[in-house]
């Protein structure tokens, strides 16, 4: 099952995609199919962590809306927590030359205003603010059932589904001091979607491959099995400290960059960390994060329109 | 004006304290005085950023409830963002021996489940999980009016008020890797309250003094003017990256530790950073953060009751 969060003429809703080749983009809107459910995916997960009521409500129903008539919201609009992973793929650790613990994951937080939905515009900071605005294609894990001190063998029971994430990062700010802080949290700098795919359909994340494309050209390609700390480990680790909440998001880290193609020039270094294959996102670009079995998260990039 | 967030028999509410010595703890409940306003302080700030409607609704009314009949919620129960500052007082930088930029603030995020209200129990991690659970007394700034690219001379216009914060930290987890992550986000490890004091009453934060007491004994005492980056600077800096949201919280950093008293033994070192005057919080302790003009945030400490 694929679940979307959308905005239709200013009203937020949740829908279930219908797999019907004769009507691409068709979905069942839960506001009609299940009017008793909240109109927000996090609020649904709080009362229906396994999405059983959502599945039952949509089952067998024809599409009553199409995605071209709505805009995509970030899959969870306002999660209680958005955890993100630094340096969780070996190649990315090597290419940055940075040190990280091999024993404990390196974790920081993002806030809701820093993310947009599928096909919505990402904001590249004005060039007077920062120039090194970078994509990071990542797998996002969405928590359903709450839990504390979760054992590895039960970790997947707490997952409501998976999605794609572009963990867009402003490098100058990220490297201003020791904690990433604002550099990972610029307004509309990241994206989250297009939809949640349930675990019965997706299977083990480690069996999948992640690809990031900038303007159609592959810039990242990695097996998700290459994570230093896998999804189960991250769930267990976080649950040592708090009760994972429905709708919480774990953004599981960016793989390394592919080499530049012949004739391509690397970016001018703008900080202590230089990754040769990493290109910046600029106004006019389109960035895609694709994971097989999940689909493709695609976003155009515009310059942050806020007056300085 | 002093504004509280409370829970009365499972219903959340917002109230305005009444300064009447004959009825200590008396407040005007906005659910009665202003039934049209939301029952959540963040939601109120979204429509009433200067708290003008709150003030008008409570003005001249006698108390209809007392704080002893309710429990205190964290002042903002679920802020869009809780920013926190690392190493923002000179003495604290020196005592930790850590490096930090003198040009840019060092910033990380907390999540809502990591904080409780005034008088609610803080959870010390079970000793099998971590032993170095530490207080950090801090000034919290609550944003009212949203803003982006805010100029220093306008920074205070965006402040709805101030409060106290105990930025409780689990040192073993904080030092597991380079980003603080989970170590600053254990469940019920921090506290936020007791109330919001409006800027007209509080004045310039730099004119005030912060004191932290553990079991009645002073462990931190610092002038807020000792901050490396002051409140106005932090507001301007954050607004370079995103539009500050009503109810956003800036927890402005912990001052250094006072020396131990004669005969007191320092804690056993449990990580790379050793601060001699810093004592851990343990089950049975009471920790207080007092700022003159704001009042005292007080919390008992219990052992995290979650079964391992």
Distance in angstroms (rounded) separating the CA atoms of residues B35 and B30: 6
Tell me which CATH code domain A82-303 carries: 3.90.850.10
pLDDT mean by block of 10 residues, chain B; 308 residues: 98 96 94 97 98 98 97 98 95 86 95 98 96 97 98 98 98 93 97 98 98 98 96 98 98 95 91 87 98 98 96
Of A114, A149, A178, the CB nearest to B100: A178
Cα separation, B76 vs B140, in Å, equals 11
Length of chain B: 308
Please answer whether residues A49 and A160 qualify as being in contact, where contact means their C-beta atoms are separated by less than 8 angstroms.
yes
Structure tokens at A117: 């939905």
- Give A254-281 pLDDT, tens digit per residue: 999 999 999 999 998 887 788 889 999 9
Confidence at residue A196, expressed as pLDDT on a 0 to 100 scale: 98
- How close does chain A come to B183, measured CA to CA in Å? 8
Residue B263 to chain A, least CA–CA distance (Å): 34
- Judged by a CB distance cut-off of 8 A, whether residue B156 touches chain A is no
Which residues of chain A carry a pLDDT beneath 70? none
Separation CA B224–CA B203 (nearest Å): 12
Chain B positions in Cβ-Cβ contact with residue A237 (cut-off 8 Å): 182
H-state helical runs in chain A: 30-33, 41-47, 52-58, 90-96, 171-174, 199-202, 231-239
Please give the pLDDT value at position A274. 82
Question: Structure pTM?
Answer: 0.97
Torsion A75-A227-A95-B271 (CA) sign: positive
Q: Does B187 touch chain A (CB under 8 A)?
A: yes
A15 touches A27 (CB < 8 A): yes
Q: How far is B108 from chain A (nearest CA, A)?
A: 5
Residues of A in contact with B110 (CB under 8 A): 109
Distance CA B17, CA B9 (A): 19
Bridge partners (DSSP) listed for residue A250: A83, A141
Task: Tell me if B53 sits within 8 A of B30, measured CB to CB.
Answer: no
Q: Identify the pLDDT of residue A205.
A: 98
Which pLDDT belongs to residue A209? 98
Q: What does DSSP assign to residue A129?
A: T
The Cα B227–Cα B253 span in angstroms is: 8
Using a CB-CB distance cutoff of 8 angstroms, which residues of chain B are in contact with residue A150? none
| A187 CA: distance to closest CA in chain B (Å) | 5
- Of B86, B186, B243, nearest to A242 by CB-CB distance is B186
Q: Is B268 on the interface with A (CB under 8 A)?
A: no
On whether ipTM exceeds 0.85, the answer is: yes
At B47 the pLDDT is: 98
CA nearest B149 in A: which residue? A308
Test B182 with A238 for CB contact under 8 angstroms.
yes
Asked if the C-beta of A305 comes within 8 angstroms of chain B's C-beta atoms, the answer is: no
Size of interface A-B (CB pairs under 8 A): 143
Q: Where are the domains of chain B?
A: 2-71, 82-303
Residue with tokens 């391509």: A264
Whether A100 and B240 lie within 8 Å, measured CB to CB: no
Q: State whether residue B43 sits within 8 Å of chain A by CB.
A: no
Whether residue A46 contacts residue A16, with contact meaning beta carbons closer than 8 Å, is answered with no
Determine which of B74, B124, B130, B242 to mutate to test the interface with A (most A C-beta atoms within 10 Å): B242
Q: Which of residues 108-147 of B touch A (CB under 8 A)?
A: 108-114, 125, 129
Contact between B238 and B83 under an 8 Å Cβ cutoff? The reply is: yes
Closest CA of chain B from A137, distance in Å: 20
Whether A56 has its CB under 8 Å from any CB of chain B: the answer is: no
Calpha distance B152→A153 (Å, rounded): 52
Output the DSSP codes for chain B: -EEEEEEETTEEEEEEE---TTSTTEEEEHHHH-TTS-SSHHHHHHH-TT-HHHHHHHTTPPP-EEGGGSEEPPSSSS-S-EEEEES-BHHHHHHHT----SSS-EEEEE-GGGEE-TTSPEEEPPTTT-S-EE--EEEEEEE-S-BSS--GGGGGGGEEEEEEEE--EEHHHHTSSSS-GGGG--TT-EEEEEEEE-HHHH--GGG-EEEEEETTEEEEEEEGGGBSS-HHHHHHHHHTTS-B-TT-EEE-----PPPPPTTPPPPPP-SS---TT--B--TT-EEEEEETTTEEEEEEEEE--S--
Token code pair at residue B173: 């987890």
Measured between beta carbons, the chain A residues lying within 8 angstroms of B43 are none
Tokens encoding A305: 């329109």
Tokens of B82: 């809780």
Q: Which residue has the tokens 């999660």?
A: A79
Query: Exposed/middle/buried for A308, CB within 10 Å: 0-12, 13-18, 19+?
Result: exposed
Pairing state between β B286-291 and B82-86: unpaired
């Amino acid at each position: 099952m694929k679940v979307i969060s959308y905005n239709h003429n200013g009203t937020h809703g949740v829908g279930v995609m219908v797999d019907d080749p004769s009507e691409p983009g068709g979905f069942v809107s839960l506001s009609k199919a299940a009017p008793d459910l909240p109109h927000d995916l996090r609020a649904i997960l709080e009362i229906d962590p396994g999405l059983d009521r959502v599945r039952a409500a949509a089952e067998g129903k024809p599409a009553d809306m199409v995605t071209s008539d709505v805009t995509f919201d970030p899959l969870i609009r306002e999660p209680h927590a958005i955890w993100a992973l630094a340096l969780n793929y070996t190649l990315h650790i090597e290419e940055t030359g940075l040190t990280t613990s091999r024993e404990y994951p390196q974790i920081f937080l993002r806030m809701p205003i820093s993310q947009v939905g599928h096909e919505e515009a990402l904001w590249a900071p004005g060039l007077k603010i920062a120039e090194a605005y970078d994509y990071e294609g990542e797998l996002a894990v969405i928590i359903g059932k709450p839990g504390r001190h979760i054992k590895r063998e039960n970790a997947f029971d707490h997952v409501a589904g998976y999605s794609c994430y572009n963990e867009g990062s402003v490098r100058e700010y990220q490297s201003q001091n020791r904690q990433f802080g604002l550099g990972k949290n610029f307004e509309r700098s990241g994206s989250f979607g297009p939809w949640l795919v349930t675990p019965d359909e997706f299977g083990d994340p480690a069996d999948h491959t992640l690809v990031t494309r900038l303007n159609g050209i592959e810039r990242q390609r990695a097996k998700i099995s290459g994570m230093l700390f896998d999804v189960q480990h991250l769930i267990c680790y976080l649950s040592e400290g708090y009760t994972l909440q429905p709708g919480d998001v774990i953004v599981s880290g960016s793989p390394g960059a592919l080499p530049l193609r012949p004739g391509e020039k690397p970016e001018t270094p703008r900080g202590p960390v230089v990754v040769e294959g990493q290109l910046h996102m600029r106004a006019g670009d389109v960035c895609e994060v694709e994971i097989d079995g999940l689909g493709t998260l695609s976003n155009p990039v515009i310059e942050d329109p806020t007056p300085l």
